[in-house]
Structure 1
Amino acid sequence: MRMMMLAAGAALATGPALADLVKVDDQQRFVQLVNGKTLTRPFVKLNVKPDGKIEGRGARWDVEGTWSWKDGYFCRDLFWGGDALGYNCQEVQATADGRIKFTSDRGAGDSAMFRLR
């Protein structure tokens, strides 16, 4: 029994670790990450397009807006179900395993993690 517990513990310890988040501070790198992909999280699917448009759905409502890259940050002006969410510049971080994190207020605010699919 003790040997089985030790083996199970060793398997957990050597399993895949969560990939580290790395800051994306270059527009070209950002576009490479999101181009042709859908950003997903529960009840949300977004497409951030290289031409500066954002389209998708959040819960039951359409999401649309525009984005630009300024001083190393993703700056977006977003509408959700017709309501303005406003302009905000966000820090972007990504992982090698296909996740991307946006943190509002240039990295000082709330954050949201998405899968790139």
Structure 2
Amino acid sequence: MRSLAAFVLLTAPALAETYQPITDRTAFVDIIAKHELRIGLYNLSLIITPKGQITGSALGWQITGDWTWKDGYFCRKLDWSGTQIPYNCQLVEAKGTKKLRFTTDKGAGDSAAFDLR
């Protein structure tokens, strides 16, 4: 029994740091309303507004777009300095209060993890 208790105590911080799905628009808005999303490697910075707008930049080029919440997914369309990034619905997951991960194709595609600033 002691070994089980020790295992739980030692792994609890690791379990707390796993990504958890966000399926509710209100919960998503509560997070994005307070933060800028960043990926330092690409000098990517995004502001996602509660009213459905996306602005920012990556590699020095402007990003604009809009988003909606549909059936538990973040659905967006973007323009990256003239390059259209097609509409896609994405699974959103939070890792504590420090990271958001977006996975394309409702969770079946590629992922990008953003730092919350």
TM over 0.5: yes
- The structure having more radius of gyration, on CA atoms, is 1
How many percent of aligned residue pairs carry the same amino acid? 42
CA distances 1:17-56 after superposition (whole Å, capped 9, x unpaired): 4711000000000000110310001210000000100000
The alignment partner of 1:20 has SS state of coil
* Alignment counterpart, residue 39 of structure 2, candidates 38, 41, 46: 41
Which structure has the highest helix share of the two? Answer: 2
Q: Deviations over 1:60-97 (max 9, x none)?
A: 10000000000000000101112101100000000114
TM-score (norm 1): 0.84
**Could you tell me which residue of structure 2 aligns to residue 116 of structure 1?**
116
TM-score normalised to structure 2 length: 0.84
Preserved contact between residue 64 and residue 80 of structure 1 (Cα < 8 Å):
yes
Residue 80 of structure 2 corresponds to residue 80 of structure 1 = yes
Alignment of 1:28-107 (within 5 A): 28-42=26-40, 43-107=43-107
In structure 1, the gaps of 5 or more residues are 1-12
* Count of aligned positions: 104
> Which 4+ runs in 1 deviate beyond 4 A?
none
Contact 1:19 1:97 in 2 (8 A): no
Q: Which runs of 5+ in 2 are unaligned?
A: 1-9
| Aligned position for 1:27 | 25
Paired amino acid for 2:78: L
TM-align CA RMSD = 1.5
